[in-house]
Every structure is written in C-alpha cells, then in structure tokens.
A and B are shown apart, each in its own frame.
Chain A
Amino acid sequence: MNTTKTKISRRAFVKSASAMIVLPTVITSKALGAADGTPPASGRITLGGIGMGGRGTGDIRQFMTDKRIQFVSACDVKHAALARWKNDRNVDTYIDYRELIARKDIDMIMCGTTDHWHAQITIDAMKAGKDVFCEKPLSLTIREGRKMVETARAYGRVFSCGSQRVIGDYGRLASAARSGRYGKILEAHANPGGPPRRCYLPGVPIPPNTIEWDLWLGPAPWVPYHPYRCGAAYGLGGRGFRTWHDYSGGMMTDWGGHKFGGAMHGMGVDHIGPTEIKYPDGKEYQYLTYIFENGMKLVKSNKQGYLCENGWAQPWNGMPVPPPGLRWYEDGARSPHEDCVNCIIDRRRPFRDVEFAHRVATVCHLGNICFMLKRNLKWSPENEVFIGDEEANRLIDRPRRGPWQI
C-alpha cells in the first residue's frame, strides 16, 4: 500500500510552535453570544453573498441586522462590487462562486446576481448543502424554475425568493380582496412592465480589472463584451442587463415577481398556473390576460387591484390583515429575510417558497412567450407544457453553455 507522510522540518516546527505560544487566544465576547439575544458564533447561520451589486448588498445588509446571521463571504465577477468588502477582515471575497459554495462552513447563500445566473448558482449551492435566499425574478426560463423546485425538495433545502413587496406593498390589497366584503374575486390586475429584447450591441475591449466577462456570461451564449450588456441600469432602456433576453425576462419578470406575485397571492393561485394566455388583440382582450381553471383572470393592465363581485377591493382602516385563509409570513416575521431565517432554523417552507416563486415567475415567462409569438396560448400547469404548440414549447427552456448545466 502506498502511504505518504507529511514531513515537517525542525525549523518549520519551531516556527509554527513559537507562533502558537506568542499569539494569545482571543475570543471576543460576541463570539460567545450576548445578552441581547445574539447567539454564540457556533449557533449562528453563516451566510455567503453571491452577486454583491446594489440589490444583493441591500439584502446582505438586511440579513446582517438579524443577530442569528453571520455574514462571512462575498462573491462577484465585477471587481468594483467586491471592493467594499476587501477591507472587512470578517468577510472573505471570491470572484468564482464555486469557491464560495465549496466552503463547508457556509450554511446559506444569498443570490443577488443577474437573472441568468439564479438557477445555476442556487442549484449548485443546494447540491452543496446550502439553504438559499434568491432575489426575484426566480429564473430565466420556466424549466429552470422547475429544476430549482426539484433540487430544493430533493436536497431538503430551504429556499426563499426575495420579493418583499408581495406582502409589504400589496398585502393589504390582497387582504381587502380576500376579506369577503367585496364578494368573490373575478379579476386581478397588475402591470409589471414589458418583455426584454435581443441584444445586438457591438463588442468593445474590456477595461482592465473590471469584470470577468466569460464568468459573467456563464450559461448564456457567448457574445463580445459591451458595458451596456452587463450594466445595472434599471428598466428596458438598453443600458442594463434587464433589457436583454439572454440575461433577463425584462420588466415582465423583474416587477412581475412583485406585482404578479402580489396579485396571484391575493387570488390564491400562486401554487398553480393559468390554463390560457390571451394575446391582447385589441378586441375581446385589450390587455394580456391569463385565465385560470377556476375562471379567475389575471390581467396585465395599467393598475394593481382586484375586481370582485361587488366592485374593486379597497383596503380600509381596521381591516383584518391577513384575513383567515390568506397565506402570510409565519411566526411574526416582517420581511422575507426574517421569514427565511426563521424557516432555516425550523426547517420549513417560507412564505416565498421556491414553488410559489416558480409559479409566479412562470406566469411572467408565459407572458413574454405570448408577446414573442403574438398569439393565444394554452398551458398545462400540471405538466408545465404548452398544449398543441411546439414552437412555444421550445421557449420553455434554453440550452446552457458549456459547463453550466443544471
């Protein structure tokens, strides 16, 4: 049998031994826990952040207000996004997320990257035994979302999507609609915004020490670098990644996570999906309209609200929030972040569990596909396929580049 021994020279031994003698053992009081409810270091959930732009950093800051969380590492392919953490001695920084998720001491990751990375990173993280908080929109394609659900279930991971507005902004509206005061909900209206478009920007040289371009592209098709492809500018103005079909579902998925998410929550259909998607023909359907099996409609119009049997639902002072039967954060959580941490501790599914987030993201993707094909579509929410439309079915997923398979 071939065995190897690690040889330590006398000089090396003396050096390391003296270092052990000289360095005092410093254990901070915080590490042992504190009277303010901070658990000892060993009892905290260690968090790694992947995608440390504006939104990702915001999420991390919010997690850091929770005494049960210890933020330990940050990762981003854009060098500037990591710069702010470089001098923090408690935080290790990485460019390649695979190094971060390989760490066995990290319990949970926050994924705040561009949309086209969400599935890959979160699936890899869950397969590495991490729980996940992922920013919305959940996915770039419908099939990606289903894979995320399957992985969370198979690996027993807690997965919360990050749409704080579903309850924060639209929870009262949903409560009014579900209060019974207005009768049965007939339609929900929401306007998340438009779909993305294909990008034809020319290639330009990559400024040194700014971005790892191939790693930024990841599963997306290889194209030359242009700063507006990967920019963070918001909206569909052509200066940020959300404009482009390869990396995002546009405003439809970005705000759809919030607005369609809020509407579907109130309608009680965020665990299923529509059966028909009507392209706005300017006649019977003025707006993109989703029809659910129970007859309820979700309309992409210019307002956010619920049309019920007795008119448009309006919140009122003293209204029970939430009314009985409306899903909500449990255990007094006030945000998806707090809810996620509670659920990681209790090992249960959060309010924005991956299945709900996937169903909402699916509705957004269905809208984008409908706009792309400019025709009515029939959808099977059970099997997650279009009925009798092969062209549409090809758009349920996109082949992924090289090693980035899920």
Chain B
Amino acid sequence: MINKPIATMLIIVSVVVTQIAVADVWQDIAGYNYGDEPNPCEQAETLLQEIPVTQYHSIEDKLIAVLTSKTSTQDGKSIACRFLQQIGTERCISAVSALLDDEILCHYARLVLERLESEPADKAMRDALPNIPDSAKIGILGSLGARRDRKAVDLVGKLTISRNAAVAAAAIETLGKIGGPEAAKRLSSMKPLKKLQPTQMKAMVACARSLPPADAVALCQKVLAGTDTPSRIAAMRQLTMADPTKALPVIAEAIKGNDAKIRKGAITAIAETKDRKLTAAMIEILEQLPRERKVELIVALGTRGDIEALKSVSQYVSSEDVAIRRAAVKAVSKLGDADVVKSLLEAADSPEMSATVMQAIVGMKGGQIDAVLVDLLADGNLKKQAIKACVARGCTEAVPALLKLAQEQDPDVRQNAWAGLGALAADDHIDSIMAVVLNIKDTVDLARAEAAIKSIFSRADDRSKCFEAVAARYPQAAEATKAAILGLGAAIGDSNALKLERSALKSPNKQLSSAALRALAKWPNESAVADLLELAQNASETVDRIVALRGYIRIAGLNTAKLSDAERIKMFRTAMNLTTRPAEKKQVIGAMQNVKSIESLKMLQEYLDDSALKAEAQMSAANLLWGMRKSHPAEVMAIAEKLATSKSRTVADKAKRTLKDLNKNK
C-alpha cells in the first residue's frame, strides 16, 4: 500500500508532467508543417477532448501565442485556427483578425470568427473588409452573409459596384442573405451589369424572406418582371407565401402560358402551397387547358391534397384520353377516401390502366379502403379488379370472400380467387380452404388450389401443423383430391407426410400410389431415400422404377439433404448400377458436381472417356476443379491437364484457369 506523502507526490508529478506535455504540444504546433512526425496536432486533439471545458482559456492563450509568434509556420497557424474554431473566445479575435489579409490564412481566420457568437467578431470582419485583397473580401462577404450582419449593409452595398465582378456578385448575394429593409432597398434600386442581374434577382428573392409580407410582395413582383427564370419561379413561390391572393393571377397566367419551365414552377407551387383559394382558382382553369397541361394540373391537384378538388378531378377518371385518365386516377386516389375506390376500379379497363389503378389503390390511406374492396368482391363487374386490389394491398380480410369466389361459375373469377387465396390466406384458413377443396371437380381448379396451399405452406410458421389440417381431410376426399393432398406432402417432407405417402404407395388404386411415388420423387430431404431405392429396384412397372430412381438421384445431389459426401457417392454408385439408361446416368453425373469431394472427382474420372457420358462428365469435373485445387493439387492437376484438351471451350477454359493457378503456386 502506498503511504499518503508518496501518493501526493505522485499526483503532483503527474500533473506537472501533463502540463509540460500540454505546453510542448501547443508550442510544437507553432513550428508544425504538414507531414511532420511526431505530429503534435494529433496529440493536441486528444488533449482537447480530455481537458475540462473550464480549462480551455489556458489552451486559448497558447493558441493565440502560436498566431502572434513571428516564427510560426503557415500550417501551424492554420491548425491553431482550427482549434480556436472550437474553443476560441473574444480574447482571440485580435490575433485571428490579423490573418484576414492573408490569401490562405484568411479562410482559417474566418473558421474562428464566423462561428463565434460575438459582435466584436462581426466588427473585426467589417473593419477588415475594405483593406484586404479581393480574394479575401469574397470570403468575408460570405461570413457576413452567414451571420446576417445588418450593420454591414452599407459596407457591403458599396462593394456591389466593385470593378471586380466576383466581388460585386458576392456583395449582392450577401445583401440578400443579410436581408431586412435596408438590404431590400439597396437591392431593388441597384442597376448592376447585365451578367449580374440574375444574381441580383436571386438576392432579392432571398431578401424577401426576411421582410414583412407587404414588402416581400413588392420585391417578388419586381423579380417576376425580370427575365431570370429560376428567380421568377422562386419569386412566384415566395409570393404565394407572402400574399396568396396576389399570387393567384400570377400562377394562373403561368399555367396558361407557353414557358414550360415557368409552368412547371407554377405546378410545383400548386402542389406545395396550402392556400385553399388556389384550389378553386385552378379548378376554374382546368377545363380550359389543353391536354398536356391538363395532365400536369390534375397531378398537381392530387399532390396538393385539397379535397375541394376531388369532384372536379374525378370527372376525368372516365376520360377517353389515357394520359388524362391516368393522371386523374393518381389524383383521385390521393384526394379521396373509400368512396372513390369503386370508380377507380371501374377505370381499370386495360392492362395499362389496371397497373396504374393498382398502384394508386395500394397508396391509399384510410381504414375503410380494405372494407370497401372486400364488398366489391361481390360486385359482378369488378370482382377481378377487386381481387387484384386486395392482393396488392395485402388485405387478408378478403379471404372468406375469396373462398366464395373460388366456387363461382366464371373460371376467370375462380382463377383469380385461387391466386388471391395463395397470396393472402394464412395457416388458420387452411381448414376452410380444405372444405372448399373437397368439393372441387375441375382438375384445373384442383391444381390451382394445390398451388395456393403450397404458397400458404411456404410462409406458414408451423408447416407440419398446416399439413396436419390438410391430411385430416384425406379420408373424405375424392381420388383426385387425395392425389393432390399427396402432392402437397412433398412441400412439407415431415414424418407425418411420409407416413401418408407410404400408406398410399400400398394402395390398390393406381392413381394414389402413383401420386405418392411422384411426391416421394420430389421429396425435400433424405427421409424418402430408402423408399425410393426400394421402388427403383422392385416396382412392378418400368416407369415407376425410373421415376423412383430419378427421385433417388435428385436427393443424392440435393444440398439441403443431410447426407455425408460418402453416403452421396455411395448413392451415385448404386444408381449407376441400377440403370443402363444414359438419361439417368447423365442425371447422376450432373448431380455429382454438387458433391465437392475428391471421391466425386475420382468417380467422374471414370466417365471422362465414355462416349455416351463424357460431355456431362467433363463439365461436372471441370466445375469441381477450382474448388479442390488447394486441397488436392496433384489429382486436380492430372484431371485438369486432361480436360484442358476438351473440345468444349467452357470445359477447357475452366481447366486451363485451374492449371494456371496451380502452376503459379507450385
């Protein structure tokens, strides 16, 4: 344990050492040049983060010393300014201001002065402005504008007639940023060179934002009388905020006029300005507009979101002009509520319009939209569109109605209904869906139902439970439905499904045993391997043996099957021995490229010269080479050399690439 006097001593020493270190770091900055090592600036950054704010004043003194020292480097002074930007106070203004006439350091001085909330900082920049080079003037003008220093208006105003156009432009811009009545007066009375007029207009628009509405209107009207299009658009928007009544005729004129850019500016103003009088005014001129402009205005009225426009815009939903109709659909969907859904669906009378309507309906907000859509599922003419809309909105409330539609007379409706059920129904709908499925007579419908149920399985939280509900209906089902249920088992692949398939395999009914066999051939995991092998060897009919063998080979190459490489290779060999048909042999060879082991490669080697199988064997082997070149270089090299001479360019290229890599790393 350290006694008290020693502990006190250690603290004193550490404080002294720290202070010396601090002093050295700040001193070193004075002589710093970019790239110097060790770098005092990085140490200073860390120190600044550790030192309490109350001790900043001592750091500030040291940084001021860097700025005032005659021996400090330019880089050192610039770094000192960066630190002062963060911690400087009025005490550093004098030292910092001395840098304002330096072309490079002027900007670093402004880092401090512009961000320092202090009237003396403003004054320092104002005082420096007349006496510094033009390049530095432009920067200070920027700072005065950023600080909105109204005391600088006179000084800045004088520079608006500078012979240096860049300085004059900067001064004009600065007046706009400073704002206020004095700046406005100067801006509106000045007569700058033609090339500076757009700058003047933009400054006037900026200045208008700082004025009371009446003054802002005067300034905006002056800009509107000018020729700079972007400024005129900005003035139009500013006018709508300052005095919407005065803005109305301006916007109306722009909408009717021939200047496309001004018109688009007006359209944006309509979309974004909330004054309601504007809606009424635009509705009034909507009818008079030619086609293209009508489209623009309808869209803008929709974006604007004022329900007052709904009635007027709605009439165009049935327009014969597709562009107008599309615009109206978009607008109505934004303005209207559930009441407009029906008219929107009625507009979906072509594939193109249907896409527009669906997009519009998807974006509609409001609690009743889905309820109306569900009601429209019963509408004789709109059923199909309503189904699409329900699907697009993910409206699960539609499921019971869709189940009814799935039993309708019209095959198109039934088709859409099953597609809708596939997209919207969930686990807890399976029972009611199966109740409908049991009554299906049409094989096409049965296939649609099967697809819908598979789709529900794919997103079910508990697939096995889902299949249980399906399988529970198996005993009551007709033969064709039973076959469909057996097909669904392959989408699940669990033990219950396998049990059902096995029992069906033994059925004397050929349709069922065949359905079970086909389901097993599509099984998603290794649990059906033994059944398939047994069938491949012993099924009474050739076709069944082939189907079973193909399923067996498929699973051997299936990535998701939990089989070791050795088990897979064994299965491939078994399959090869079971068949004489090239088709299945080729299937084995194709599946072998999924087994990335040397045994697989060696087995493929046996077929590289087999005239019936060599093309497939070469391709599979070539696909395995690259992945095994590091683990088995010798074997891979031997096979690659052989494949490099292949007639297949793809195979040869893959082999050569592998060889190149092997030779490089020899």
- Give the residues in chain B near A401, CB-CB below 8 Å: 107, 139
Produce 1/0 per residue, A288-319, CB < 8 A to B: 00000000000000000000000000001110
- Cβ–Cβ contact A201 & B34, under 8 A: yes
CB of A127 closer than 8 Å to a CB of B: yes
Chain B's nearest CB lies how many Å from the CB of A89?
A: 27
Our pick among B114, B146, B268 for the contact of A156 (Cβ within 8 Å) is B268
Our pick among A318, A323, A399, A402 for the contact of B459 (Cβ within 8 Å) is A318
- Cβ–Cβ contact A129 & B268, under 8 A: no
B87-117, CB < 8 A from A: 87, 104, 107-108, 110-111, 114-117
CB of B42 closer than 8 Å to a CB of A: yes
- Cβ–Cβ contact B108 & A127, under 8 A: no
- Cβ–Cβ contact B107 & A348, under 8 A: no
- Cβ–Cβ contact B41 & A155, under 8 A: no
- Cβ–Cβ contact B117 & A200, under 8 A: no
CB of A223 closer than 8 Å to a CB of B: yes
In the complex, A202 Cα to B39 Cα: how many Å? 11
A139-167, CB < 8 A from B: 153-158
- Cβ–Cβ contact A373 & B49, under 8 A: yes
CB of A40 closer than 8 Å to a CB of B: no
- Cβ–Cβ contact B205 & A332, under 8 A: no
- Cβ–Cβ contact A202 & B363, under 8 A: no
Produce 1/0 per residue, A308-338, CB < 8 A to B: 0000000011101101110010111000000
- Cβ–Cβ contact B230 & A400, under 8 A: no
B110-128, CB < 8 A from A: 110-111, 114-117
Our pick among B49, B78, B458 for the contact of A221 (Cβ within 8 Å) is B78
CB of A374 closer than 8 Å to a CB of B: yes
- Give the residues in chain A near B233, CB-CB below 8 Å: 129, 155-156
CB of B501 closer than 8 Å to a CB of A: no
- Give the residues in chain A near B300, CB-CB below 8 Å: 346-347
B564-604, CB < 8 A from A: none
CB of A397 closer than 8 Å to a CB of B: yes
Chain B's nearest CB lies how many Å from the CB of A58?
A: 27
Binds B, one of A17-25, A268-276, A387-395: A387-395
- Cβ–Cβ contact A200 & B268, under 8 A: no
- Give the residues in chain A near B170, CB-CB below 8 Å: 403, 405
- Give the residues in chain A near B85, CB-CB below 8 Å: 394, 398
Number of residues from B at the complex interface, CB < 8 A: 70
Our pick among A328, A332, A347 for the contact of B303 (Cβ within 8 Å) is A347
In the complex, A398 Cα to B146 Cα: how many Å? 10
- Give the residues in chain B near A324, CB-CB below 8 Å: 365
- Cβ–Cβ contact B146 & A402, under 8 A: no
- Cβ–Cβ contact A399 & B299, under 8 A: no
- Cβ–Cβ contact A127 & B202, under 8 A: yes
Q: Considering only CB atoms, which chain B residue lies closest to A202 in the complex?
A: B35
CB of A128 closer than 8 Å to a CB of B: yes
- Give the residues in chain B near A323, CB-CB below 8 Å: 394
CB of B656 closer than 8 Å to a CB of A: no
Our pick among A153, A203, A318, A373 for the contact of B35 (Cβ within 8 Å) is A203
In the complex, A158 Cα to B237 Cα: how many Å? 14
B264-304, CB < 8 A from A: 264-265, 267-269, 271-272, 296, 299-300, 303
Chain B's nearest CB lies how many Å from the CB of A174?
A: 15
Produce 1/0 per residue, B198-213, CB < 8 A to A: 0000100110010000
- Give the residues in chain B near A374, CB-CB below 8 Å: 49
In the complex, A154 Cα to B365 Cα: how many Å? 29
Dominant SS among interface residues on chain B: helix
- Give the residues in chain B near A373, CB-CB below 8 Å: 49
CB of B480 closer than 8 Å to a CB of A: no
Chain B's nearest CB lies how many Å from the CB of A69?
A: 17
Our pick among B53, B86, B330, B394 for the contact of A331 (Cβ within 8 Å) is B330
CB of B514 closer than 8 Å to a CB of A: no
Assuming the A-B contacts A202-B35, A324-B365, A347-B296, are A399 and B114 also in contact, with contact meaning beta carbons closer than 8 angstroms in the complex?
Answer: yes
CB of B135 closer than 8 Å to a CB of A: yes
- Give the residues in chain B near A404, CB-CB below 8 Å: 142
Our pick among B86, B110, B142 for the contact of A395 (Cβ within 8 Å) is B86
Interface size class of A (residues with CB under 8 A): 35 or more
- Cβ–Cβ contact A394 & B86, under 8 A: yes
- Cβ–Cβ contact A154 & B237, under 8 A: yes
CB of A235 closer than 8 Å to a CB of B: no
- Give the residues in chain B near A316, CB-CB below 8 Å: 459, 461
- Cβ–Cβ contact B34 & A347, under 8 A: no
Q: Considering only CB atoms, which chain A residue lies closest to B208 in the complex?
A: A154
CB of B359 closer than 8 Å to a CB of A: yes
- Cβ–Cβ contact B34 & A223, under 8 A: yes
- Give the residues in chain A near B35, CB-CB below 8 Å: 200-203
Chain B's nearest CB lies how many Å from the CB of A129?
A: 4
- Cβ–Cβ contact B359 & A331, under 8 A: yes
Q: Considering only CB atoms, which chain B residue lies closest to A203 in the complex?
A: B34
CB of A222 closer than 8 Å to a CB of B: yes
- Cβ–Cβ contact A402 & B87, under 8 A: no
In the complex, A148 Cα to B325 Cα: how many Å? 35
- Give the residues in chain B near A398, CB-CB below 8 Å: 85, 111, 115
B319-374, CB < 8 A from A: 330, 355, 359, 363, 365
- Cβ–Cβ contact B394 & A320, under 8 A: yes
Chain A's nearest CB lies how many Å from the CB of B117?
A: 7
Q: Considering only CB atoms, which chain A residue lies closest to B103 in the complex?
A: A222
- Give the residues in chain A near B355, CB-CB below 8 Å: 332
In the complex, A328 Cα to B139 Cα: how many Å? 42
Chain A's nearest CB lies how many Å from the CB of B601?
A: 37
- Cβ–Cβ contact A346 & B299, under 8 A: yes
- Give the residues in chain A near B206, CB-CB below 8 Å: 154
Chain B's nearest CB lies how many Å from the CB of A250?
A: 15
Assuming the A-B contacts A129-B261, A203-B34, are A405 and B49 also in contact, with contact meaning beta carbons closer than 8 angstroms in the complex?
Answer: no
In the complex, A126 Cα to B330 Cα: how many Å? 27
CB of B166 closer than 8 Å to a CB of A: yes
- Cβ–Cβ contact B230 & A347, under 8 A: no
- Give the residues in chain A near B234, CB-CB below 8 Å: 154-156
Q: Considering only CB atoms, which chain B residue lies closest to A104 in the complex?
A: B229
Question: Of residues B143, B394, B458, which shows the largest number of chain A Cβ atoms within 10 Å of its Cβ?
Answer: B394
CB of A198 closer than 8 Å to a CB of B: yes
- Give me the 3 closest cross-chain CB pairs, A-B, nearest first: A202-B35, A317-B459, A320-B394
12 more A-B contacts (CB under 8 A) besides A198-B42, A348-B271? A129-B230, A153-B237, A154-B237, A155-B230, A156-B237, A198-B41, A202-B34, A316-B459, A328-B363, A346-B330, A391-B86, A403-B138
Write 6 A-B pairs (CB below 8 A) sorted by A numbering.
A156-B233, A200-B42, A222-B104, A222-B107, A347-B264, A402-B135
Binding site for B on A (CB under 8 A): 126-129, 153-158, 198, 200-203, 221-224, 316-318, 320-321, 323-325, 328, 330-332, 346-348, 372-374, 390-391, 393-395, 397-405
